[in-house]
Structure 1
Amino acid sequence: MAMDRLPSPLASLVLLISAAIPLAAASPSLTDDSRCGCFLTNGTEDSFFSKHSFFDFRNLAQYAGVPAVIPNSADSASASSTSDYFKSTAWTDWWMVGSWNNSLNNRGDSTVLMINSPNNIYIEANNDKVPASQTFLTLRTQRLEEFQTAAEIESVSPGFQFLSMRMLARTIGAKGAITAMFTYRGADKLADVQEADLEVLTRDPRNLVHYTNQPSYTVGGDTIEKATENATMPDGLDWTNWAVHRFDWTPTMSTWFVNGKVVANISFQTPRDSSKVIFNAWSDGGQWSGNMSTFDAAYLQIQWFDIVYNSTETKSSRKRNNDVDEQADFGPHGVLAKRAGEASTCKTVCSIDETSKQGQPVMLWNNAAARSRVSLSGGLAAWIPSVVVLATFALSTRLLWY
């Protein structure tokens, strides 16, 4: 080989990197939950979760329809489901619709009777000028002459212990209402309540959202400043815009995101024990919610809800709660739960963050010993050391020619 035809050290390096980058840039492949041993999230701290569920309200035109508000308080609480979708096992296996009211509770400073009604939870056609979906789920609250009609859905299971949940959602409507996504574990004493909230107050500036590890006040009425962060949404967004709101609950902190950007992070009194997942839209005329004018309304609208989580619930505990589905698989327990017969670490790791199709996970790796993530960032990290070694060899070889 002639000396003038030998590649320069720089050219050798460029060729080696060019050869490596296509391999590094390979996207992780779509898969399904049954092939995933656990799910790794990309939050402020990487976390593993054992289970995944996705609820898609974007293409349910066959169930769409806005029910008229029920003006009678007794009829409101006992209303039937607004469509067959809310009678399907896809819904009832996971969710319960609230019909409780605040008349028998300690109403604090509330001035209005509030009644949750199944009639305020419905599938609605998306009539945006440029609709991103056919339909969405709506939770409605409206002030009537005699009471406030409201909406709440809560998980059937009280056994969620650490999770990462996301919703593509917006809040619209009049002042004086609250919409929320949160985890909740009740207690007899206020100080023992465990709750992590995302709350939108429609009387606030439209870019402000409240994030809290409850309780945020004492029995004596003093505010606990460390429990709450009031944050503005990023990139000029406000809560009337469609945005992905995300909450990560790990053993050491609660972290909230909007469109992938961290907006609040609270380590003070982070929930510890198993809890429910709840969404609601409400007002009671109190100091916190404010007071809605008669016939005004506000709405929480959700295109989809995506969650990875760990659970303390077992088949036997579900049976004690009068669920006789012995075939149900409630998955492993703990921070990193394990499937029966497997080691405590996952051999097959998936992600809902790096997917190209919302609701469907991608495979990151399927061998516990080879934990190089199949993504652009992870791929580059894995390949760069090899490139450096090869490039060093090439440079050394080139110098030997001289």
Structure 2
Amino acid sequence: MRLRSASFRAALLSLAFLFPAANAECECGFKMNDTRDYFTHVIYNNFSAFTPTKTVSSNPDFYRHWVIQRWGIPPQNWATPLPIDNQLDNVYIQDGNLVLKQEGYSKEAILSGHNVSVASIASQSGDIIHGSFRIELKMEGATGGSVAGFFWYHDDQNEIDIEILAKEFKPDSVLVHYTTHPALDESGVLVKNATEVIPLRGDDPASSFQAHRFDWTGEELRFYQNSRLVHANALRVPQVPGYVYMNLWADGGPWSGTPSTTDVFMSVKTIAIYHNTSASEEGIDKAFNLRCEKAGGPSNITVCLDTSIESGNLDPSSVASVITPVQVWAVVLFWVTFGVAVSFV
């Protein structure tokens, strides 16, 4: 099936810019302008367009893609000595940004073992497989430990992480941790190249928004800082679907450090996640295939460039109903079918 679906997508994209389509937008997927990777679905949020609210759980634009996590973890051992509690009120819209908050944690709270009030959101869909995952964020307010995370997760053996630790902030750099799990082998030894720590340099970079990104294909993982490729590996690349998460937390352990005594804020300007689903990965996503067919098939309009969306020129949630002439789609379908047939020769 993978050989057939790969040929299907290759044939689809080979025709994506040959035929004009009428007034349709992104029904046939998304092409990455720099890598030329192709994905069928998108989660895109520009939070400046959201209505400011104390919580966003009831906002339909937010809830369409995301759900706020409401669970806690008790203290377990020396590595996670403090309980954490993901709170609904710690996720809200302010000044055109999505904000995740970690509440300040006093020294008295440490001695009494009170919960650390933190924040986490997860994608509504757990069927995200391969894609380009992008976020513009800044982390501020910390006077102590806090971890900001942007990651994809299936289980402890299939996880792709970008993490930033407040305790590592420097005036001229922010250290960014890139990890492909499992990062340890069966003997507990760190796997070479499975995790890298790469500084994002600049003049007080922690005080301004920075663009973080990882691309996940069937063959490798690539990590970017402000559109610059900084790390890649082909180690144990996941081949199963999962969820996307963002979180802000500290549990007093050696990774996060003692929780910040002041409120910490993870502000997110935009999120763009171009991705496949289990069905579209195999070329059998009926809803996607029908939507593309009704829009007239692949073209330079129905297959959208990521740059067109992130510049604000296209709204990927807008889907037009005008269809190109049947004879054009028939030609496209013939060549796609031909490409599939050739893959078995």
TM-score, normalised to structure 2's length? 0.72
- Runs of 5+ in structure 2 lacking a partner? 1-19, 317-323, 333-345
Aligned position for 1:182: 151
Give the one of 92, 99, 113 matched to 1:138.
99
Report the CA distance between 1:173 and its aligned residue: 2.5
Q: Does 1:57 align with 2:17?
A: no
Aligned position for 2:132: 164
Report the CA distance between 1:93 and its aligned residue: 2.6
CA distance in 2, matches of 1:136, 1:213: 28
* Correspondences of 1:201-240 after superposition (within 5 Å): 201-205=165-169, 206-217=173-184, 221-233=188-200, 238-240=205-207
- Runs of 5+ in structure 1 lacking a partner? 1-28, 65-81, 126-134, 314-331, 371-402
Aligned position for 2:9: none
Secondary structure of residue in 2 paired with 1:195: strand
**Change over 3 Å in CA distance of 1:203–1:356 after alignment to 2:** closer
* Correspondences of 1:216-365 after superposition (within 5 Å): 216-217=183-184, 221-233=188-200, 238-293=205-260, 295-312=261-278, 332-334=280-282, 339-340=289-290, 346-347=298-299, 348-354=302-308, 357-358=311-312, 360=314
Aligned position for 2:89: 119
**Change over 3 Å in CA distance of 1:119–1:160 after alignment to 2:** same
Give aligned-pair identity as a percent: 22
Q: Is the 8 A contact 1:161 1:334 kept in 2?
A: no
TM-score, normalised to structure 1's length? 0.62
Q: CA RMSD in A?
A: 3.2
**Change over 3 Å in CA distance of 1:355–1:100 after alignment to 2:** closer
CA distance in 2, matches of 1:99, 1:342: 37
1:57-105: CA deviation from partner (whole Å, max 9, x where unpaired): 1144x424xxxxxxxxxxxxxxxxx33x42032222321111111118x
CA distance in 2, matches of 1:200, 1:34: 35
Q: Is the 8 A contact 1:54 1:307 kept in 2?
A: yes
CA distance in 2, matches of 1:248, 1:154: 18
Secondary structure of residue in 2 paired with 1:229: strand
Q: How many residue pairs get matched?
A: 283
Query: Could you tell me which amino acid in structure 1 is paired with residue 101 of structure 2?
Result: R
Report the CA distance between 1:258 and its aligned residue: 2.0
CA distance in 1, matches of 2:117, 2:274: 32
Q: Is the 8 A contact 1:170 1:301 kept in 2?
A: yes
CA distance in 1, matches of 2:147, 2:229: 22
